[in-house]
Amino acid sequence: MIALSRNFQDRVAAKLQQESLITRRENYKSSWRGLKEKTVTMSFRISENAFKALQQDAKKNNTSLNTLANQLFMSYAEYDRFLQKFHMVKVSSPNFKRVLNAATKEAIGHQE
């Protein structure tokens, strides 16, 4: 996936805050700096198939199911939920390159 710069993410959050769509932004420090993030204990019901898929991915990535679930939640909280608001979609880097290669230079605003 194409990663958005932190600056872009901050601008999106600021714009949403201006529009009163969010009231505050919590800044959590990375645990690798020695500071612990705030956590909440919750329980969810998910389908057995989803559970098995998550278990397999966690095992494949040598991580815990909890870590994988937290990564998915954070991805949604920090990025995915804003996609619809800004009419954006996720596109993998190879597919994005294919689109650019298929487009004419004029269509993508190429200037020489």
b/e 3-18 (16+ beta carbons within 10 angstroms → b)? eeeeeeeeebeeebee
Q: What does the pLDDT look like over 10-33, one tens digit per residue?
A: 676 666 655 544 444 444 444 444
26 in a structural domain? no
Task: Give the integer Cα–Cα distance in Å for 91 and 98.
Answer: 11
109 in a structural domain? no
Q: What does the pLDDT look like over 31-82, one tens digit per residue?
A: 444 567 788 888 889 999 999 999 999 999 999 999 999 999 998 988 888 9
Domain range for 62: 9-18+42-102
59 in a structural domain? yes
